[in-house]
Structure 1
Amino acid sequence: MMQPLISIKILYSSSSLTICLFFFFLLADYGRAKIMLPENVTVPAVIAFGDSIVDQGANNNLYTVIKANFPPYGKEFIAGKPTGRFTNNKTPADMIAKELGVKEVLPAYLDPSVDDKELLTGVSFASGGSGYDPQTPLLVAVLSLADQLEQFKEYIAKIKGIVGEDRAQYILANSLFLVVAGSDDLANTYFTIGIRKLQYDIASYADLMVSSASNFIRDIYALGARRIGVFGAPPLGCLPSQRTLGGGVLSMCVEEQNQAAQLYNSKLQPHIEYLNSTLAQSRIVFVDIYDPLLAIIENPLQYGIQVVDKGCCGTGNIEVAILCNHLLPTCDDDSKYLFWDSYHPTDKGYTILINQVIGRYVNYFF
């Protein structure tokens, strides 16, 4: 399956008003965030790795059931076109690229229409259903992080061929990298399918994930990445699919899974802070959306949301990927829903969440 959301929790900034104004201006009505970067700061590209949260269509031509290149996915996307994004419109990768002034949408690296200009301004290598555990992508025949890393090396060679060594290194050092993985490991490989439960308790499994995440970050750093946002796990037990599978007749949030996500986040964050303090010239940030997403789930009306316990597609209880298809009805108004399918947020949900990410953490990267 694919990864739900992102977990966004670093140290909250106590920056002065001057610094806040210097870096960003955030609209108050959950519309689009507006960012003002310092004059001497540019973001040439956004580059993403991970799972379905930032999969822009990498899975379209893979032999896997983890796909979203058919209706009703993409219902509100440009010209109503399904592109392989696991939502009704844009993904967080698209939104962040736009808010940083890079480009309107971030394409998949494997998109055959990607040209030199698109390569130079960033792509996504993410593959829905992937994760830090090497077993996770194998279960659903998608691209592992090792596969994504090899594609990234290929990408670097391509941009060096376009603009030369020096400019390519500049692009890598000044771009924003997004690493979004881990939810599929916990929700699917460990809990739903359970193949790792015989080998690990949840604490040791979280350690395996953190070790893999740390190694991956070191790998992309060694290849030139410097500004890296590493997203933690969301409240997994509150995703509609997990409520359906383990929440009982009332479809309550599954506390065991939420606790596992919190444990993983608590182990990942100090590792990210250590890497940030020891890898020269790095800005590596742990981005935790556990609390922001849970806040929406617990107080939906405050955010203009009415439905948080099921998705817009079909019954909203279990439909995701090929189970969410054109044969099923969708809700009348997806702007009232936090989730589009049983695993991924709607455009409205992502907009609320990403505005908080940008407003809270942008100054940590620059």
Structure 2
Amino acid sequence: MNSLSSTPLHNNLRLLLLRFILCIVVSCKLTNGIVKLPPNVSVPAVLVFGDSIVDTGNNNNNLRTTARCNFPPYGKDFEGGIPTGRFSNGKVPSDLLVEELGIKELLPAYLDPNLQPTDLLTGVCFASGGAGYDPLTSQTSVCTHSAISLSGQLELFKEYIGKLRVLVGEERTNFILANSVFLVVFGTNDISNSYFLSRIRQVQYDFPSYADFMVNSASNFLKEIYELGARRIGVFNTPPIGCLPFQRTAAGGIERKIVVQYNEAVELYNTKLSKGLTSVNQNYPDSKIVYIDVYNPLLDIIVNSNKYGYKVEDRGCCGTGIIEVVLLCNHLASTCPNDLEFVFWDSFHPTESVYKRLIAPIVQKYLKDFL
């Protein structure tokens, strides 16, 4: 037996060699991004927290929640037609963001059992379908029991940082955290499910007060990830939930109209969120916390769907399109002949085509605010 195999020197050499190999592998896996970064500016990774809009498969092995979609017809247009746990027919915003930045083609779920060490260097997704800023949302929302809560995703992030330090050391870890783009996407389930659908929060709050509660939770979360090293943080506002096919079915009357009350509530929350982020930015002048508007671009696509080449905006492609989502959108449900004609894939989530229309302009519009 080689007597050097267990010496501290030999272990250090192996660790240095591993780090070198990781850097080589990562550099070879970069994609050709559409966005060109300024000279001397680096975005080494993307790290995402959120709900089903950005979840890339963290709920797959969580049998305590029905917010899973690692089965057909989900993933119909994904590589190889494989259902990966993404709540769409193909890629989701997490993937499109890393692709636009030229980092890699897909953003893997942190809890993916096949996750590789190199994935940690370029970013992972902590998001969980059914999660929200409100802790009750992850625990008790209709059909989404036991999603990974805000605090749970924070704990996964801390675990990730520990693994990163082992792989590349303290200095490189700090560089990755300070220069990566963080994306935070919550709010839809809080307003849609916890406040309006289940009404569990209406006992305690009128909506303006609930919106304040959400913003306070968001602000605290941003402070926590800032203290762990995050500096470039994008926060999605909440989309027009009154336009979701499910909500039109549940609260839009016999004609399934857009639920104006829900959209007005979202607009109020978004205004409060924008002001809240301005306040957080003032407290942390060395950070770039960016409010990202997805409400208006998505509303425009829905209301003016024909202008964008879509024929159906009031129901999803899966099944009848008016109620099917997660377990109800399964291999027994028929799908539309051409999902490129549909704004929504199921009764809650847009198609990959719509996500592509949203994310590319968003990156072009807001990236300068991070740099």
Contact 2:33 2:99 in 1 (8 A): no
Q: Which has the larger radius of gyration?
A: 2
Contact 2:316 2:346 in 1 (8 A): yes
State the match for 1:336 in structure 2.
341
- Distance (Å, rounded) in 1 between the aligned partners of 2:39 and 2:73: 42
Contact 1:313 1:329 in 2 (8 A): yes
- Distance (Å, rounded) in 1 between the aligned partners of 2:114 and 2:122: 14
State the match for 2:52 in structure 1.
52
Whether 1:90 aligns to 2:95 is no
What are the within-5 Å matches in structure 2 for residues 99-118 of structure 1? Answer: 99-118=100-119
What amino acid sits opposite 2:116 in the alignment? D
- Distance (Å, rounded) in 1 between the aligned partners of 2:279 and 2:207: 23
Once the two structures are superposed, residues 230-255 of structure 1 have per-residue CA deviations (whole angstroms, 9 ceiling, x without a partner) of: 01111110010000000111111101
What amino acid sits opposite 1:133 in the alignment? D
State the match for 1:183 in structure 2.
188
State the match for 1:71 in structure 2.
72
State the match for 1:133 in structure 2.
134
Whether 1:142 aligns to 2:143 is no
For CA contacts below 8 A with separation 6 or more, give which structure has more relative contact order. Answer: 1
TM-score w.r.t. the length of structure 1 is 0.90
What are the within-5 Å matches in structure 2 for residues 222-237 of structure 1? Answer: 222-237=227-242
What amino acid sits opposite 1:223 in the alignment? L
Report SS of the residue matched to 1:309: strand
State the match for 2:319 in structure 1.
314
State the match for 1:282 in structure 2.
287
Deviation at 1:34, TM superposition (A): 2.0
State the match for 1:270 in structure 2.
275
What amino acid sits opposite 1:175 in the alignment? S
Name which of structure 1's ranges 340-349 and 34-43 shifts more when overlaid on structure 2.
34-43
Contact 2:33 2:102 in 1 (8 A): no
State the match for 2:256 in structure 1.
251
Contact 1:241 1:343 in 2 (8 A): yes
Report SS of the residue matched to 1:285: strand
State the match for 1:200 in structure 2.
205
- Distance (Å, rounded) in 2 between the aligned partners of 1:273 and 1:79: 43
Once the two structures are superposed, residues 208-261 of structure 1 have per-residue CA deviations (whole angstroms, 9 ceiling, x without a partner) of: 100000000000000000000001111110010000000111111101100110
Deviation at 1:280, TM superposition (A): 3.2
What amino acid sits opposite 1:97 in the alignment? V
Whether 1:34 aligns to 2:24 is no
What amino acid sits opposite 1:211 in the alignment? N
For structure 2, which runs of at least 5 residues remain unmatched after alignment? Answer: 1-31
- State which of 239, 243, 248 in structure 2 corresponds to 1:238: 243
Report SS of the residue matched to 1:61: coil
CA RMSD after TM alignment: 1.1
State the match for 2:7 in structure 1.
none
- Distance (Å, rounded) in 1 between the aligned partners of 2:187 and 2:33: 27
Aligned length, in residue pairs: 335
Deviation at 1:116, TM superposition (A): 1.0
Deviation at 1:281, TM superposition (A): 1.5
Whether 1:350 aligns to 2:351 is no
What amino acid sits opposite 2:45 in the alignment? A
State the match for 1:124 in structure 2.
125
State the match for 2:28 in structure 1.
none
- Distance (Å, rounded) in 1 between the aligned partners of 2:37 and 2:181: 13
State the match for 1:20 in structure 2.
none
- Distance (Å, rounded) in 2 between the aligned partners of 1:121 and 1:199: 42
- Distance (Å, rounded) in 2 between the aligned partners of 1:162 and 1:154: 13
- Distance (Å, rounded) in 2 between the aligned partners of 1:319 and 1:144: 24
Contact 1:119 1:159 in 2 (8 A): yes
- Distance (Å, rounded) in 1 between the aligned partners of 2:282 and 2:341: 42
- State which of 252, 261, 268 in structure 1 corresponds to 2:266: 261
Contact 2:33 2:103 in 1 (8 A): no
For structure 1, which runs of at least 5 residues remain unmatched after alignment? Answer: 1-31
What amino acid sits opposite 2:68 in the alignment? K
State the match for 2:11 in structure 1.
none
Once the two structures are superposed, residues 147-182 of structure 1 have per-residue CA deviations (whole angstroms, 9 ceiling, x without a partner) of: 000010000000000000000000000000000001
Aligned structure 1 segments of 4 or more residues deviating by more than 4 angstroms: none
What amino acid sits opposite 1:349 in the alignment? V
What amino acid sits opposite 2:133 in the alignment? Y
Report SS of the residue matched to 2:364: helix
Contact 1:33 1:359 in 2 (8 A): no
Once the two structures are superposed, residues 179-199 of structure 1 have per-residue CA deviations (whole angstroms, 9 ceiling, x without a partner) of: 000110000000001100111
